[in-house]
Amino acid sequence: MADWISSIQSKFILNFIEDDRWRYLLDGLVVTLELTFGALVIGIAIGIIVSIIRTTHDKTIETMRPGPGRFFLILLNAVCKIYVTVIRGIPVVVQLLIAYFIIFASSTNSLLVGTLAFGINSGAYVAEIFRGGIMSIDAGQMEAGRSLGFNYVQTMRYIIIPQAFKVVLPTLLNEFIALMKETAVVGYIALKDLTKGADIIRGRTFSPFMPLFAAALIYLVLVMFFSWLVGKLERRLRTSDH
């Protein structure tokens, strides 16, 4: 028993204490969080814009008067559709490599490239989530807003989007959690995130158990923490649903 404990102790010292190896995990965690939040912000921004274009097209094109506005909307909608199809049809690792080695080949800032790549990727999924949310709001809400004199954009902003946001919040959380775990492949473009950090320790110490389980545990705790946080937020938003 004492042997076992002292063996664990020496493994712990070897993997985390010696040469300050815990720093690989901490620095990696910071990179993972930066990447995830940066990509989330980009993804939500893209997602809101794309979903509004798509739903506006689907709901109003039938009744829209011919003219440049109508043509522009059809064009935008086509661009958004292609974007969603392409992004959702290609593995994120491939997108990441294309972004790093081809599109932004001149950039040496792999954190920025990684954030952009994951953000653009996430945007396609968030767009579909938001689109479902907007479509789920009763048509009477738009009519009520318009009948009071709000224009289309104002009705979306004050009446439709806040309700749609509430509907999609749980799904959005799932996307956020999936995104955080997906960023673990960012080591492909030489970015030292949490996973890469753990793998570096493994490479140095030839002792895979502790660094890999440490990384796994940190991901798990993060996911549980964010689930709890959004659950709280959801309960607050639900006050209007008694």
Partner 1 sequence: MTINRSSSDVIIKVTGLQKHFKGGGIKALDGIDAEIRRGEVVVIIGPSGSGKSTFLRCLNLLELPTGGTIEFEGVDITDPKTDINRHRQKMGMVFQHFNLFPHMTVLRNMTIAPMTLLKKSKAEAEEKAMALLKRVGLEDRHGAYPSQLSGGQKQRIAIVRALCMDPEVMLFDEPTSALDPEMVGEVLDVMKQLAHDGMTMAVVTHEMGFAREVGSRVIFMDNGQIIEENTPDMIFSNPQSERLKNFLAKVL
By the criterion CB under 8 A, which residues form the site for partner 1? 62-63, 65, 138, 140-141, 143-151, 154, 158-159, 162-163, 166, 239-242
Nearer to partner 1, 88 or 238 (CB): 238
Min separation Cβ 137 and partner 1, Å: 10
Nearer to partner 1, 44 or 160 (CB): 160
Min separation Cβ 219 and partner 1, Å: 34
Of the chain, the end-to-end C-alpha distance in Å amounts to 57
Q: What is the CA radius of gyration of the chain?
A: 23
Min separation Cβ 47 and partner 1, Å: 20
Min separation Cβ 141 and partner 1, Å: 6
Q: Are 211 and 18 in contact (CB under 8 A)?
A: no
Nearer to partner 1, 155 or 183 (CB): 155
Amino acid of residue 7: S
Nearer to partner 1, 75 or 148 (CB): 148
CA nearest 126: which of 69, 83, 181?
83
Nearer to partner 1, 168 or 179 (CB): 168
Distance CA 217, CA 57 (A): 45
Min separation Cβ 144 and partner 1, Å: 4
In angstroms, what CA-CA distances link 167 with 49, 125, 133, 160, 163?
17, 16, 6, 11, 6
Min separation Cβ 75 and partner 1, Å: 21
Distance CA 111, CA 113 (A): 6
Nearer to partner 1, 22 or 152 (CB): 152
Which 3 state secondary structure label does DSSP give 94? helix
Distance CA 55, CA 139 (A): 12
- Report DSSP state, residue 83: H
